[in-house]
Amino acid sequence: MAEQGPIPASAEAGFVFSMSQPENPFIADPYFQRALAAYLPEDILAEVVPAFTRFAEATISPQVKEWNLNAERQQPFVEKHNVWGARHDVDRLVTSEGWRALRKWGAEEGTVAIGYETRYGKYNRIVQHAKNYLFSPVSGLTGCPLSMTDGTARLLRSQLPGLPASHPFHETYDRLTARTGSWTSGQWMTERPGGSDVQNTETWARYAPLSSKTEGEHGALDQGDYLVSGFKFFSSATDADVTMLLAKTESGKLSAFLAPLTRTVAAAEDGGGGGTGKVVTNGVRIHRLKNKFGTKQLPTAELELKDMRAHLVGPVDRGVATISHLLNVTRAWAFVSSIAAMRRGLGISKQFAANRTVFGYPLWALPLHLRTLADIEVRVRGFTQLGFFTVSLMSFTENGFPESGTLKASPPLPDPGEAATVVLRALTAAAKAVTSKNAVVTMQECMEALGGVGYMDDPDEPENVARALRDISVNAIWEGTTNVLSSEFVRHVLNRNHLEHINSWLSKAIDGVGNRDYREALQASWGNLYGRLRKNKDYIFDVLSVGRSVMFSFSWIVVGVLLAWDAQRDGDELAGEVARRCILNGEGGLREWLLPDVGVPSAAARFDESKERAKWDCRLVWGKELPDFAPFGQRIPLGSKM
Ligand SMILES: Cc1cc2nc3c(=O)[nH]c(=O)nc-3n(C[C@H](O)[C@H](O)[C@H](O)COP(=O)(O)OP(=O)(O)OC[C@H]3O[C@@H](n4cnc5c(N)ncnc54)[C@H](O)[C@@H]3O)c2cc1C
């Protein structure tokens, strides 16, 4: 009998790796739960935890996977002309069923509405963004139009008190903040001469009120007093119902406008034979859809506007100041989605490492791989703190600060009023910029952690980190690039008395850090940064040239304070280890852009290459002890499971 040799692999036989089933992302994210427990009072927490558990389960359901697949596979396209060559009354933007279902689901789940409902009172923005954190990784990018909807709603809400009940903004606001039958809003700022610098806008608004209006003094939504014409170079919410946009008036200065994308023409305008009228474009023509590196589900278009009838929002010639309210809202969506993407990327890397074997070692226990994953854990924790602290401050500045004692943990908040507004503005720009920039590096690391398969871009795979990397990269560009936000940050901090407000808050927060080593390290860094800023207050152009380092240094200090607070509030050992790594060692992903005298490893720093560090890495990544069979430099038995 012939001896049977080794059996070679074939296309069908041999080793095939299989990923474990994804876990419920809320249950599998104890740090997020810990953060929520610090920022929410007990009664709200008790209500939202079961709700989030259920929602998170839905995010990994076959239905949501199918919607995402469909949105990825069937990318949007435009039909402009009929078969005879005549232009349609409204350019037909065809989006996938999956995209539309995801957007509807997001709205119904309250990703926008929660921010305006009274159910969670002062904490509504925290609950809203906690939901977005769970929604965004599976949202198929529908978080983009939803974020702009949120921004427009926030802006309109600030206008409503001064408007008569008959004004169409009331209904628009109700629609934008509804859960069912809700509208979405776009935000059209960027033009060919520049998105960062909108002063070069080539879109013009002409005051041309209708001689008669159907509904009251202000007319219906499609009866605004201005006719807007121009060319918008980027519009992501091209299938929106309404849009906010910037245009110049005859003064040559920018004003903000709101306009519906379609309007209903009366029978007479319709050529007389159309009965009750029909829906036509409100002067918007889709020039073309853009071909992008990522966000391919999102219908980003170039638009030509011709006599688009629009309502002025806010004071004339104050367009940039008016629309900045919207930007602060959309930036929060950007940093929450960046944090969520990093957490999801780390989760997928762990799913893989838990089952993969390399060089005879289980990957999950390999010290260098553990170190890589632990570094990501430290980053994600720091950004989770920065993000949810900022969102909390947003919630409290909008709805009122919590009475003392309501929150068990008492986050180091600034004083209510002007100080809080100044700090919030600085934090919103900084959090958006540093988390978005870091998400790109982090997602690349997560992709690499999956080896070659990480680089595959298969729409069928929910664990497609490559796609997540492509998609998340845009967060560093839209709503302000890193350098534009750095410049905004510097100008804001050096404006009027803002630096003193920031110093009062941050110095007090640092003084509240109980651990002496941490406190002294943070004091030294803030002392250096504050000293530089004070000294150069009148030399803004000098400071602008190092704006990125200034903003990253500020962010590192805030992250350090928050991690220290997180550790001391209940003495949690893992939280303490993360705080130590960030504050004393300068770890946590921000180091590359720090000023030379900020985040310098302190005398108490410990960069131990010893097994002790690996033990902490293992606790941080896997929540358990490094197994006895994992001594440094020795082989670990094959097949050792977590
Ligand atoms: C997928 C996608 C969707 C988008 N959707 C929308 C949308 O719906 N609505 C919308 O209005 N816009 C949208 N944008 C546009 C986006 O907001 C702009 O691209 C962005 O603001 C940058 O503007 P810009 O492209 O004109 O670049 P520029 O402003 O020309 O910037 C070029 C470079 O100059 C740098 N720079 C500019 N100013 C400064 C400064 N003061 N200091 C230092 N460096 C500076 C920038 O950092 C950047 O690196 C979208 C973009 C993308 C990629």
Kindly report, residue by residue over 353-412, the tens digit of the pLDDT: 999 988 888 899 888 899 999 999 999 999 999 999 999 999 999 999 999 888 888 999
- Ligand 1 atom at minimal distance to the Cα of residue 480: 21
96-106: pLDDT as tens digits:
999 999 999 99
Look at domain 185-316 and name its CATH class.
mainly beta
Q: Residue 455 pLDDT > 70, yes or no? A: yes
Mutate to test the pocket of ligand 1, among 481, 492, 543, 593 (most ligand atoms within 8 A of CB): 481
Q: What percent of the chain has pLDDT over 70?
A: 95
Choose one of 141, 150, 190 to mutate for the ligand 1 pocket test, by most ligand atoms within 8 angstroms of C-beta.
Answer: 190
Identify the band that residue 631 occupies on the pLDDT scale cut at 50, 70 and 90: very low
What residues are in contact with ligand 1 under a 6 Å CB criterion? Answer: 187-190, 194-197, 234-237, 292, 295, 300, 474, 477-478, 481, 483-484, 487
Residue 476 C-alpha to ligand 1 middle, in angstroms? 9
Q: Is 28 helix (H, G, I), strand (E, B) or coil?
A: coil
Cβ atoms of residues 313 and 322 within 8 Å = yes
Distance between CA atoms of residues 178 and 47, nearest Å: 21
Mutate to test the pocket of ligand 1, among 75, 152, 234, 297 (most ligand atoms within 8 A of CB): 234
CA of residue 173 to ligand 1 center, whole Å: 28
Please give the structure tokens belonging to residue 87.
């232009």
pLDDT tens for 94-132 read 999 999 999 999 999 999 999 999 999 999 999 999 999
d(CA 127, CA 45): 9
pLDDT digits (tens, 9 = 90+) for 231-256: 999 999 999 999 999 999 999 999 99
According to the model, what pLDDT value does residue 458 have?
86
Residue 557 · residue 522 · CB < 8 Å: yes
What spacing in Å lies between the alpha carbon of 480 and ligand 1's midpoint? Answer: 6
- Atom of ligand 1 lying closest to residue 237 CA: 8
pLDDT on residue 272? 47
Query: What residue type is 192 in one-letter code?
Result: R
* Confidence at 629, pLDDT banded by 50, 70, 90: low
Q: How far apart are CA 542 and CA 552, in angstroms?
A: 17
Banded model confidence at residue 183, pLDDT cuts 50, 70, 90: very high
Q: CA-to-CA distance for 95 and 93, rounded, in angstroms?
A: 6
295 Cα nearest atom in ligand 1: 1
Report the alpha-carbon distance of residue 482 to residue 390 in Å, rounded.
18
CA 481 to ligand 1 center in whole angstroms: 6
Q: Please tell me the residue having the least CA distance from ligand 1 atom 23.
A: 195
Single-letter code of the amino acid located at 12: E
Residues 6+ apart with CB under 8 A from 378: 578, 581, 582, 587, 588, 589, 620
What ligand 1 atom has the least distance to the C-alpha of 193? 26
147: left (phi over 0), alpha (psi -120 to 50) or beta: alpha
Q: What is the pTM of this model?
A: 0.95
Q: What CA–CA distance (Å, rounded) separates 152 from 174?
A: 11
In the reported structure, the alpha carbon of residue 483 is separated from the centroid of ligand 1 by a whole-number distance in angstroms of 10
- Protein residue with its CA nearest to atom 36 in ligand 1: 484
The Cα–Cα gap between 431 and 559 comes to 10
Quick one: tokens of 6? 């080794």
State the average pLDDT over residues 193-197. Answer: 89
> What is the residue-averaged pLDDT of the chain?
93
Which of 192, 196, 288 to probe ligand 1 with, by most ligand atoms within 8 A of CB? 196
All CATH 2.40.110.20 domain ranges of the chain, comma separated, are 185-316
Q: How far is the CA of 194 from the centre of ligand 1 (A)?
A: 7
- Pick the atom of ligand 1 nearest to 477's CA: 20
Looking at ligand 1, which atom is closest to the CA of residue 478? 17
Strand pairing category for 242-248 and 185-188: parallel
pLDDT of residue 194: 84
Compute, in angstroms, the gap from residue 475 CA to the centroid of ligand 1: 11
CA distances from 3 to 6, 7, 292, 593 (A): 10, 12, 57, 64
Residue 271 has pLDDT above 60, yes or no: no
Atom of ligand 1 nearest to the CA of 300: 3
pLDDT greater at residue 307 or residue 607: 307
CA–CA separation, 102 and 427 (whole Å): 30
Q: Using DSSP, state whether 420 is helix, strand or coil.
A: helix
Q: Model confidence over 579-624: pLDDT tens digits?
A: 999 999 999 999 899 999 999 988 888 776 678 888 999 999 999 9
The pair of three-digit structure tokens given for residue 632, joined into one six-digit string: 């440094």
For residue 269, the model assigns a pLDDT of 58
Ligand 1 center from residue 99 Cα (angstroms): 25
Residue 488 to residues 289, 348, 365, 501, Cα–Cα distance (Å) = 30, 35, 44, 17
Q: How far is the C-alpha of 543 from the C-alpha of 536, rounded, in Å?
A: 7
How sure is the predictor about 267, in pLDDT bands with cuts at 50, 70 and 90?
low
Residue 140 CA to chain centroid, in angstroms? Answer: 14
Element (H, E) at 246: strand 242-248
Atom of ligand 1 nearest to the CA of 292: 1
- In the reported structure, the alpha carbon of residue 289 is separated from the centroid of ligand 1 by a whole-number distance in angstroms of 17
Lowest average pLDDT, out of 3-12, 92-101, 222-231, 391-400, goes to 3-12
User: Measured between alpha carbons, how far is 528 from 33 in angstroms, rounded to an integer?
Assistant: 35
Distance CA(52)–CA(33), nearest Å, equals: 10
Question: In the Cβ-directed half-sphere of 265, how many Cα atoms lie within 13 Å?
Answer: 17
- Distance from residue 293's CA to the centre of ligand 1 (Å): 15
Reading the block at residue 610, the tokens are 């010893």
